[in-house]
Chains A and B, each alone.
Chain A
Amino acid sequence: MSVDENKGESVRDIFSLALTKLAQQNKQAYDLLLQKADEGFFEQHQTKGTIKKLAAQLIDTKELSEN
């Protein structure tokens, strides 16, 4: 595994594996996290405010059982 290969590792790839359970429970939250991963949100430094905003968005989502 080289340094260059490491730099190519994507958070989205990890998310798509780690969040399969969430996808079944709360599709809205799953989609939101993947969208943010696509935007490169997680790889960059984020302020407390932006993190808080995303947290609020996640809390506002509805689980599939609630729909």
Chain B
Amino acid sequence: MKIRSIGMSWFRGASQQTTLNTELMNVVIYGSNGSGKSSFSDAIEYIVAKGKIRHLMHEYSGSRQEKGVINTHAPMDTNATACVKFEGNCSVDVKITPDGTPIFSGNPEALVNTVQTWELERLILRQDEVAAFVEKTKGGKYSVLLPLLGLEHLEQAADNITKLRQSVVEEGDLYSKKANLAFLKQEAAKYFADLSEATATKALQNIAKDYIKGEIPAGIDPLTKKLSDAINSRIASLTPEITRHTLLLKVNEENLSEKLQKVAQAEEKILGRVNTLVDSQVEILQQASKYIDKLDIEKDEIECPACGRILRKDEFINHVRSELEVLKDLCADRDIAIEARRVLKSSIEKVLSLMGDNSITTWLGLPEHKELKEAVDELTQIREKDIQSPEVRAKLGKFIPVLAGRVEAAVAVIPPSNQKLINDGKIVEAATSIPSINRLENETVKINNIVQALDSSETQIRESIRSKTDSIIKSISSDIQYLWAKIHPNEPIQNVKLYIPEDEDKSIDIGLTFHGLEQPSPRLTLSEGHRNSLGLCIFLALARLQDSKQRPIFLDDIVSSLDRWHRGNITNLLLEEMTGRQVLLFTHDREWFQELRFLLPPTTWKFLTLKPWTSPSVGLQWSTSENTFDDARGLIAENCESAGNCVRQIMDSSLAIATEKLRIKMPYARGDRNDHRTCIEFLESVISEAQGRLRKEEAGSWKKCPEPIEDWRNAHNMIVSLANRASHTGSLVPTEVENLIQCCEIALNKFKCSECGAYIWFAEQTGREIMQCRCGKTQWKYG
């Protein structure tokens, strides 16, 4: 699909309509820096990239790049335009409104979409992008190459699957569920080793006896709920219950019943007025004892002053002592009774004090403790009264057993300790988690299965990408190696190839052998020039991939960092390897342009020159000549010496190539040696050789051609006198330079046939050592 023309108006450097007519040939466009030649590359890029130009993607060019795309001096309300015409009368147009909106149209309409599927990476190679691929990271290279390898859709799928996998993990809360599940399992396993519902239910039923009165639910869910409620309720009331139980234990320990009984027993022993009696008896007996001591020991019989009995003296003494002993026992019993009453009273005081605690009074308020409360109330009423009173004694005998019995029953129900409640709570909680564990287990397994399936899909897609990439980059690599060898023959940098680094997805790198040593990256050893030519090889190899072979390629200033020798090799490469492929080559290198102009066949290559760009309103201007003398003309107004030197440089490079093409015995040897030869030497040789070698057919016979020789001689003389002066003395005037340019321009044109306009070396008669122009009327015999 060759380009017939690229036209534009008010687009980039163009003002009024400017058209690059290719005539479906390859084209070399020369223009000094800033002449606007890249505007043509920009036009094709703008159309292909749907209204964007990569090098204009910055904050200053406007949201639609309108500040960079439209000529700054475009008339108000004028649309900028660009149009690319292809072979077969097809075309794609774009009209850019002043606000930068591109409006595309095609003939046929579908052509716009077709052109916009072209990949810029194998359509245009610009000077500042030549080494960009080489210098990209492995990931960057991969990103650039992927669409060119036809694998972008798989990469997109792999990316989408990665995102989907992440989203499934996030939406399904997988990690949190897994952590929760692990925790629940760990906790539940402390109580139910097999984590089964049956084991948990059995354990719960055992616990339930302590908390649930009546029927115990059968299922694990209702059972755990009921148990959990019961335990929580118990925990909530835990402190008052324990306090109350402790106090009631103390009440119980007072053992009022026993104390009451002791009082009763003691009382029985000293019934009635025994106290008075005992006191009186004791006093009498004590007097009697004193009396005995004063008695006449000779009397044998004595009347007892206590009981009145007549006793013998010794019997009396024994009697008194015996009575005293009896009374002493009685006194002891009385004392025991007194002590028992005191103890009982004290105990009642203590019990009433304990029963007055809030934890008990609230509890006593419950209906089931009505009797106990009455007993306590009664005891409270009689606490100040004499226990010896029969009424009080009767009440004590009635209420103390009630109190003691109830308290004993109450303390028999021991409240659970905190620890037990906590332990039971944990068991219930662990049991509660058993159904949750099963649910969580199912959920995590399901999500995990989906995640693993997505992982597996992504892995297979990546493997597919990798194997396909590997296969295709091997094929590209062999082409890169081939092209590299063309530009760098017999150099110690070999085996240049693309490769996929091991165990790395989304990455491609360039390897090579440098002086026999394998290098993982060209950045380690290659110079800037070598990196640039490597970038060119990669671009050309990609451009030569199957599905882009029919498209044109734009090479915009790609040799600026290459020396003459490598530039020459690139010329050969374009000549030999790009046949059938339309190449649009832009260069600001005058010398290379001259070289190309002489070396590339005019049958397939066209040469155009842009005049130096002067202003936005003048825009791009084509030079009327194929050569580059307009550069020199552009310098006259500014500096005549520079213009003179420019002419000299043009002649140096042009004549070096012309002498080589004409096989004059001053061969153009590539390398630095050529740089030391001047156009003066070349012209002298040309003039000398042309005498016997150049001939022209006139009326059926071959004649010598003095006219070109005369023009070459004039040029020689002008260069010797004027160009040398420009180089050394610096005293040229404009008219002198104009004469010099004119003379040199004429001299170079004399290498072309005056009839057909083709160079003398256009064709060669094999075996006859003759070269000739297209029409064959001008010949050069070189043998």
* Residue positions of A touching B, CB distance < 8 A: 1-7, 9, 11, 14-15, 17-19, 21-22, 25-26, 29-30, 33, 41-46, 48, 51-52, 54-56, 58-59, 61-63, 65-66
Contact = CB atoms under 8 A, between A and B. Distances in A.
B450 interface: yes
B442 A66 contact: yes
Given A11-B154, A11-B461, A3 B171 contact: no
Interface string B426-464: 000000000000000010011101101100110111001
Contact of A26 (B449, B456, B457): B449
A51 B164 contact: yes
Contact of A4 (B161, B164, B546): B546
Contacts of B664: none
Interface string B140-178: 000000001111011011001101100110111000000
B150 A17 contact: no
Interface of B: 148-151, 153-154, 156-157, 160-161, 163-164, 167-168, 170-172, 442, 445-447, 449-450, 452-453, 456-457, 459-461, 464, 468, 471-472, 545-547
B464 A14 contact: yes
Nearest to A65: B442
Interface of B is mostly: helix
Contacts of A58: 164, 168, 450
Most buried by B among A2, A17, A65, A66: A2
A5 B467 CA distance: 13
Given A26-B449, A54-B167, 9 more contacts: A4-B150, A15-B457, A21-B453, A25-B449, A42-B161, A56-B171, A58-B168, A63-B445, A63-B446
Given A9-B464, A29-B453, A3 B148 contact: yes
6 contacts: A4-B546, A21-B453, A45-B156, A55-B172, A59-B172, A66-B446
A37 B170 CA distance: 22
B457 A14 contact: yes
Contacts of B157: 11, 14, 42-43
A7 B150 contact: yes
A48 B163 CA distance: 8
Contacts, number: 119
B461 A6 contact: no
A1 to B, nearest CB: 4
B150 A6 contact: yes
Given A19-B453, A42-B161, A59 B171 contact: yes
Contacts of B471: 1
Contacts of B161: 42
Contacts of B452: 21-22
A18 B458 CA distance: 9
A6 to B, nearest CB: 4
B171 A19 contact: no
B468 A9 contact: yes
A11 B472 CA distance: 19
Contacts of B170: 55
A29 B461 contact: no
B458 to A, nearest CB: 8
A18 B165 CA distance: 14
Contacts of A59: 168, 171-172, 446-447, 450
A30 B449 CA distance: 11
Contacts of A2: 150, 472, 546-547
Given A22-B453, A26-B449, A55-B167, A3 B156 contact: no
Contacts of B149: 3, 6
